[in-house]
Amino acid sequence: MTVPIGAVVVGVPFDASLTVLVVLHAICVWLFMAAWNVFNDVMDVEVDRTNHPDRPLASGAIPLEGARRLGKRLLFASILSLLTAAAVAALWSGEITDWLPSLPIWFFAFGLMFHYESEGESSLSLKHKGLPGNLAVSLLVGLVIVFGAAAVGAAADARVLLVGLSAFAVNSAREVIKDIEDMAGDAGRVTLSHRIGPEKARFIAWIMTLVGLAAMFLPFGLGMFEANLSYCMIPAVVALVATKPRLYRGDDHAAQRSLRLTMVLGLVGFLAAAILQRA
């Protein structure tokens, strides 16, 4: 759903061809993220046997080799969706030049996935490096929103970049908190909470949420959206503020769920502001 949000936020009027491009980009991301999650579960199977023993791979309900094959097929299908979007942009909409940023965004996302999930000399092995891995995952979340804007030829629009920055910051905080939650079962990973301790990690996560909060209101303060539409962000702010006491209590599961809600409500708020401004 972040793909159409990214496309709507930039304010480009939709026609039939642009609608098809947005749908194809959304399918492309859906397949890509499904593949990444499969590969992630394959990599995490030993850790999940401690932290999440009910998951399909950890419980043995699905064989590892079958999961690997599924991940490859999903990734191939994502590429097919992207190539179909390229054909639509070239043959139907005639806006292939404006659409072209979609290609480097997809390949950059693939690079993030490769360096996060794979191991060996050619990989940065980000999954095992704590904070860099958290930032890589969160960068992908922000990129998906920009990818939606790229579908309508507006990848460099300042509004969508700030929306992406907000999602990146809040999700980075959530990734840090999730690592605190999984400290007991993490094996072979040097997470931020392992390096500096859970209390300091929670403080850094809170600073990240404040960066996300600032990014939420910058488009209104800079006149990209009408200032009076900033009320659309109130639900996200309420959810974000509710995270603080949960972090203070060390209730990491509730805190990371609250941050996820913050991100969702923030994106819905931007969508509402974009629609109301256009009305």
pLDDT at site 28:
97
Q: Where are the domains of the chain?
A: 1-156, 157-279
Whole-prediction pTM? 0.87
Residue 203 is encoded by which pair of tokens?
Answer: 């403080």
CB-facing half-sphere around the CA of 25: CA atoms within 13 A: 35
- 263 neighbors 174 (Cβ within 8 angstroms): yes
Residue 176 is encoded by which pair of tokens?
Answer: 């840090």
- 167 neighbors 173 (Cβ within 8 angstroms): no
Residue 56 is encoded by which pair of tokens?
Answer: 């399909």
pLDDT at site 188:
61
- 211 neighbors 194 (Cβ within 8 angstroms): no
Domain boundaries 157-279, corresponding CATH code: 1.20.120
- 269 neighbors 235 (Cβ within 8 angstroms): yes
Q: What string of pLDDT tens digits covers the 279 residues of the chain?
A: 899 999 999 988 888 888 999 999 999 999 999 999 899 889 888 878 887 889 899 898 999 999 999 999 999 999 999 999 999 988 876 668 888 999 999 999 999 988 988 877 788 888 778 889 899 999 999 999 999 999 999 999 999 999 999 999 999 999 999 989 887 666 566 788 888 999 999 999 999 999 999 999 999 999 999 999 999 999 999 999 999 999 989 999 999 999 999 999 999 999 999 999 987
The structural architecture, per CATH, of the domain 1-156 is Orthogonal Bundle (1.10)
**Residues listed for the chain:** 279
